[in-house]
Amino acid sequence: MSEDILKTIKGLLASGKGNSKRLREIIEVIKKGEPIVMSDYRYIQTLTESSSVEGEKPTNVNPSKKDESLELLRVRLAEGQITVEQFRELKKALTEDE
């Protein structure tokens, strides 16, 4: 179950939904093997339900390799694997061709 929640949280981070600091803190709690508090669980539920209720359509049904790369960068940034400066440099390198 914790893997499903982690996947959901990473998806929220990648899409820019919610408070990224709070979501990163929830990830850390889960990685430590501790249970998340009910308010955090409800917060995640609310964020995921609001996406589906709004009926958001994906902007790109078949995301390009560049879109997938940017999403991966956002997740890595959210998880603390790269710094903001590294993110900006990598994003700039990915989007130079536009």
Measured CA to CA, the distance from residue 23 to residue 7 in angstroms comes to 12
Domains of the chain, residue spans: 1-56, 60-98
9-13, 41-45, 65-69: segment of lowest average pLDDT: 65-69
Amino acid code (one letter) for 96: E
For residue 16, the SS3 value is coil
DSSP 81: S
b/e for 59-73, b at 16 or more Cβ within 10 A? eeeeeeeeeebbbeb
- Residue range 44-79, pLDDT digits in tens: 989 988 765 444 444 444 456 667 777 777 878 777
- pTM beyond 0.85: the answer is no
